[in-house]
């Protein structure tokens, strides 16, 4: 008789579904699951909080198209992971969470860490179930992996009763479930494609919006050809950045507000008309704008704005169809139009304004100065992880992306605290794929704090992530050290310190040195440049630049405040 344990069945099933990475925190009852995963060749990254572990596993899903696994213990362990599941589900990223739970014969009896886990995960996932027996494990895992990727991607949960982990069963009684293929691809219907081409042809002020669905859908090659053949201006959403390079001549990101406001036709490729795109409504959009909506989720069509044309299917396939239409008609939007003139003028004016702010050589530095120099030094192929309020919003406009899926940020859910988990995932993927690309994590000081202990994880696995903490002493902004001291003299800081403040000039760099990584405190442009150059030349260990900036540094005046709902 060839016996197999529950732990082995979970690991083998994940491996045969081509799940290559597992992030988690072990404890009773899942230690054996992590060991079995390593035994079958799954890379296991032990993290310091389940939330960060789940962020990491979902980032693997976004980066590779195949979900990462997140392994957690019962009760509190699973509850910590819910934040990561919610974030993945809202972002439409595949992830599979495996949770240990109480032994079956102790349920409802007040077992250790007992919690209704399958029910708890329903709100945060597309699928949540527990295999009813050891024999059912392979098919439930296959269903979780498949559901996480098929249709609109998202989070799935598999619950494993503690007593099932070490229980054994004769292998010959377990049905083998083969690997589920990549999601089937569907094209949009032919008539709708012709209609879309007609709407585009009649447009005076067209705009293509590229969302993270286009990045996830790997539409970059077809999309480049489409944009160049059609001559249309395009605007990426935050994580749509890099599907086509930010320095592409058709990119009008620097004229974002103008482009959105005056476009008469928008070809929307894998982006929802939610808060990130101001709901597609006035005052940020023309009330009569015609939307050509491309999405694989039928229920998404018509959210907030009824589309003039709905193209249901896979973005890559649909862009190919649109491209055929453009070729057939030999149509191209002229670069001589008034619309292109307006957009180009606005791009030039905005670039000039940012440059003036960037060249201020004050100490402490402002955001623009920091990002100007960081942007000059970063390699074009690096993966940029970014979060924080001003740090993320200003960084997005100044740090270019040149490759698809090379930007990870707070996303649709506006989640702060995702950065270190995302960076660990990106570095783990980079290590196996050996593309020679750096992972650079640009964090606000508050954002860094949510999962700061994950620097130990980076040091433990020698993941050469470069963390740049843009430190303004607080959430949104804090106070300088002198003001802080004065406040402390006045009384109990819990009564008088503004809730947005954090410890001024906190030594986040020393958190990194504590675990053997490189930590550098930076105050000036010269220090910033030499420290970043040094870190970029070192592939052996992680580093953290603690960049102290002026706590009163702010964004340049905006025509409309936007993305102000990102909370930190």
Q: What gap in Å lies between CA 3 and CA 171, rounded to an integer?
A: 6
User: Residue 120 interacts with ligand ADP (CB under 6 A)?
Assistant: no
Q: Which of 67, 75, 206, 211 binds ligand ADP (CB under 6 A)?
A: 211
Q: Is 482 exposed, middle or buried (0-12, 13-18, 19+ CB in 10 A)?
A: exposed
504 binds, among ligand ADP, Mg ion, none (CB under 5 to 8 A by kind): none
- Pick the stretch among 16-24, 192-200, 248-256, 267-275 that binds ligand ADP (CB under 6 A): 267-275
> What is the closest distance, in whole angstroms, from the C-beta atom of residue 199 to ligand ADP in the complex?
19
11 binds, among Mg ion, ligand ADP, none (CB under 5 to 8 A by kind): none
User: Residue 553 interacts with Mg ion (CB under 5 A)?
Assistant: no
> What is the closest distance, in whole angstroms, from the C-beta atom of residue 475 to Mg ion in the complex?
6
Q: Which residues inside 405-424 make contact with ligand ADP, applying CB under 6 A?
A: 412
CA distances from 435 to 110, 142, 370, 380, 405 (A): 50, 30, 27, 13, 14
Tell me the DSSP string of 416-467. TT-HHHHHHHHHHHHHHHT----EEEEEEHHHHHHTTTHHHHHHHTT---EE
555 binds, among ligand ADP, Mg ion, none (CB under 5 to 8 A by kind): none
Looking at the chain, how many residues does it have? 568
Cβ proximity of 149 and 182 under 8 Å? yes
> What is the closest distance, in whole angstroms, from the C-beta atom of residue 384 to ligand ADP in the complex?
15
Q: What gap in Å lies between CA 185 and CA 296, rounded to an integer?
A: 9
Contacts of 199 (CB under 8 A, 6+ apart): 265, 290, 292, 308, 309
Q: What gap in Å lies between CA 448 and CA 388, rounded to an integer?
A: 8
Q: Which of 295, 445, 454, 509 binds Mg ion (CB under 5 A)?
A: 445
User: Residue 267 interacts with ligand ADP (CB under 6 A)?
Assistant: no
Contacts of 457 (CB under 8 A, 6+ apart): 45, 46, 47, 48, 52, 420, 424, 463
Quote the distance between the C-alpha of residue 457 and its chain's center.
Answer: 19
Site track for ligand ADP across 279-318, x = CB under 6 A: ----------------xxx--x-------------xx---
Query: Sign of torsion, CA 307 313 314 316?
Result: negative
Look at residue 311 and give its three-state secondary structure. strand
Angle (nearest 5°) at CA 32 between 27 and 34? 80
User: Residue 212 interacts with ligand ADP (CB under 6 A)?
Assistant: yes
Cβ proximity of 160 and 99 under 8 Å? yes
525 binds, among ligand ADP, Mg ion, none (CB under 5 to 8 A by kind): none
231: left (phi over 0), alpha (psi -120 to 50) or beta: left
User: Residue 44 interacts with ligand ADP (CB under 6 A)?
Assistant: no
Q: Which of 8, 472, 501, 543 binds Mg ion (CB under 5 A)?
A: 472
Q: What gap in Å lies between CA 119 and CA 96, rounded to an integer?
A: 16
Q: Which residues inside 73-112 make contact with ligand ADP, applying CB under 6 A?
A: 91-92
For 47-94, where are the E strands, in sequence order? 68-72
Residue nearer to ligand ADP on the CB measure, 366 or 412: 412
Q: Which of 29, 240, 414, 464 binds ligand ADP (CB under 6 A)?
A: 240
Q: Are strands 206-210 and 309-312 parallel, antiparallel or unpaired?
A: unpaired
- Pick the stretch among 166-174, 206-214, 334-342, 457-465 that binds ligand ADP (CB under 6 A): 206-214
Q: What gap in Å lies between CA 66 and CA 323, rounded to an integer?
A: 28
Q: Which residues inside 500-529 make contact with ligand ADP, applying CB under 6 A?
A: none
> What is the closest distance, in whole angstroms, from the C-beta atom of residue 474 to Mg ion in the complex?
5
User: Residue 270 interacts with ligand ADP (CB under 6 A)?
Assistant: yes
Residue 150 has what DSSP assignment? S
> What is the closest distance, in whole angstroms, from the C-beta atom of residue 149 to ligand ADP in the complex?
10
Q: Are strands 3-5 and 265-269 parallel, antiparallel or unpaired?
A: unpaired
User: Residue 217 interacts with ligand ADP (CB under 6 A)?
Assistant: yes
Residue nearer to ligand ADP on the CB measure, 320 or 337: 320
Residue nearer to Mg ion on the CB measure, 316 or 473: 473
> What is the closest distance, in whole angstroms, from the C-beta atom of residue 433 to ligand ADP in the complex?
21
Look at residue 371 and give its three-state secondary structure. helix
> What is the closest distance, in whole angstroms, from the C-beta atom of residue 415 to Mg ion in the complex?
16
Q: What gap in Å lies between CA 375 and CA 115, rounded to an integer?
A: 47
Q: Which of 131, 213, 452, 519 binds ligand ADP (CB under 6 A)?
A: 213
Q: Which residues inside 12-41 make contact with ligand ADP, applying CB under 6 A?
A: none
User: Residue 276 interacts with ligand ADP (CB under 6 A)?
Assistant: yes
Q: Which long-range contacts (CB under 8 A, 24 or more apart) does 297-305 make?
A: 297/151, 297/152, 300/152, 300/272, 303/272, 303/273, 303/274, 304/273, 304/274, 304/279, 304/280, 305/273, 305/279, 305/280, 305/281
> What is the closest distance, in whole angstroms, from the C-beta atom of residue 162 to ligand ADP in the complex?
36
> What is the closest distance, in whole angstroms, from the C-beta atom of residue 410 to Mg ion in the complex?
14
User: Residue 449 interacts with ligand ADP (CB under 6 A)?
Assistant: no
User: Residue 393 interacts with ligand ADP (CB under 6 A)?
Assistant: no
Q: What gap in Å lies between CA 548 and CA 131, rounded to an integer?
A: 51
Residue nearer to Mg ion on the CB measure, 62 or 508: 508
271 binds, among Mg ion, ligand ADP, none (CB under 5 to 8 A by kind): ligand ADP
- Pick the stretch among 45-53, 139-147, 170-178, 472-480 that binds Mg ion (CB under 5 A): 472-480
User: Residue 272 interacts with ligand ADP (CB under 6 A)?
Assistant: yes
- Pick the stretch among 135-143, 293-301, 344-352, 468-476 that binds Mg ion (CB under 5 A): 468-476
Cβ proximity of 22 and 43 under 8 Å? yes
Binding site for ligand ADP (CB under 6 A): 91-92, 152, 211-213, 216-217, 237, 239-240, 270-272, 274, 276, 295-297, 300, 314-315, 412
Binding site for Mg ion (CB under 5 A): 444-446, 472
């Amino acid at each position: 008789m060839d016996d197999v344990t529950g732990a082995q069945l979970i690991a083998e099933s994940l491996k045969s579904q081509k799940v290559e990475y597992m992030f988690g925190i072990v404890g009773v009852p899942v230690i054996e699951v992590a060991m079995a995963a390593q035994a079958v060749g799954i890379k296991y990254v032990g993290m310091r909080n389940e939330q960060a572990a789940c962020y990491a596993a979902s980032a693997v899903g976004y980066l590779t198209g195949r979900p990462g696994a997140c392994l957690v213990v019962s009760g509190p362990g699973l509850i910590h992971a819910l934040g990561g599941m919610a974030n993945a589900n809202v972002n439409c990223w595949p992830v599979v969470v495996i949770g240990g739970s109480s032994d079956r014969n102790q349920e409802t009896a007040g077992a250790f860490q007992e919690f209704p886990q399958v029910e708890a995960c329903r709100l945060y996932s597309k699928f949540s179930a527990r295999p009813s027996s050891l024999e059912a494990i392979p098919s439930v895992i296959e269903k979780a992996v498949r559901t996480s990727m098929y249709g609109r991607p998202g989070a799935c949960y598999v619950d494993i009763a503690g007593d099932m982990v070490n229980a054994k069963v004769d292998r010959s009684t377990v049905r083998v479930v083969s690997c589920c293929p990549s999601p089937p691809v569907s094209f949009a219907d032919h008539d709708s494609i012709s209609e879309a081409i007609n709407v585009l042809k009649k447009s005076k002020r067209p705009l293509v919006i590229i969302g993270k669905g286009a990045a996830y859908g790997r539409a970059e090659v077809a999309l480049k050809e489409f944009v160049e053949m059609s001559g249309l201006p395009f605007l990426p959403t935050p994580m749509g950045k890099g599907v086509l390079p930010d320095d592409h001549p058709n990119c009008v990101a620097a004229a974002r507000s103008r482009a959105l406001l005056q476009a008469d036709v928008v070809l929307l490729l894998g982006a929802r008309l939610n808060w990130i795109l101001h709901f597609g409504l006035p005052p940020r959009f023309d009330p009569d704008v015609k939307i050509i909506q491309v999405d694989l989720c039928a229920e998404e069509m018509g959210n907030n704005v009824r589309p003039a044309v709905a193209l249901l299917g896979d973005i890559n396939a649909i862009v190919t169809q649109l491209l055929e239409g453009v070729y057939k008609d030999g149509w191209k939007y002229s670069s001589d139009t008034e619309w292109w003139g307006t957009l180009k003028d606005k791009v030039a004016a905005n670039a000039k304004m940012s440059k003036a702010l960037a060249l201020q050589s004050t100490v402490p530095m402002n955001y623009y100065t920091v990002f100007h120099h960081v942007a000059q030094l970063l390699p074009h192929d690096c993966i940029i992880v970014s979060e924080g309020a001003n740090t993320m919003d200003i960084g997005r406009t100044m740090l270019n992306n040149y490759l698809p899926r090379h930007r990870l940020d707070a996303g649709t859910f506006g989640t702060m605290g995702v950065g270190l988990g995302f960076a660990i995932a990106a570095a783990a993927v980079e290590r196996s794929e050996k593309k020679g690309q750096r992972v650079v994590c640009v964090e606000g000081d508050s954002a860094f704090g949510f999962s700061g202990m994950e620097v130990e994880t980076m040091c433990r696995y020698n993941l050469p992530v470069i963390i740049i903490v843009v430190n303004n002493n607080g959430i949104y902004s804090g106070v300088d050290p002198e003001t802080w001291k004065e406040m402390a003299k006045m009384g109990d800081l819990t009564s008088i310190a503004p809730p947005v403040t954090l410890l001024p000039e906190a030594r986040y760099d020393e958190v990194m040195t504590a675990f053997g990584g490189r930590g550098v405190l930076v105050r000036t442009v010269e220090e910033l440049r030499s420290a970043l150059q040094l870190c970029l030349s070192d592939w052996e260990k992680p580093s953290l630049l603690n960049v102290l900036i002026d706590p009163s540094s702010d964004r340049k005046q905006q025509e409309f405040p936007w993305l102000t709902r990102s909370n930190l």
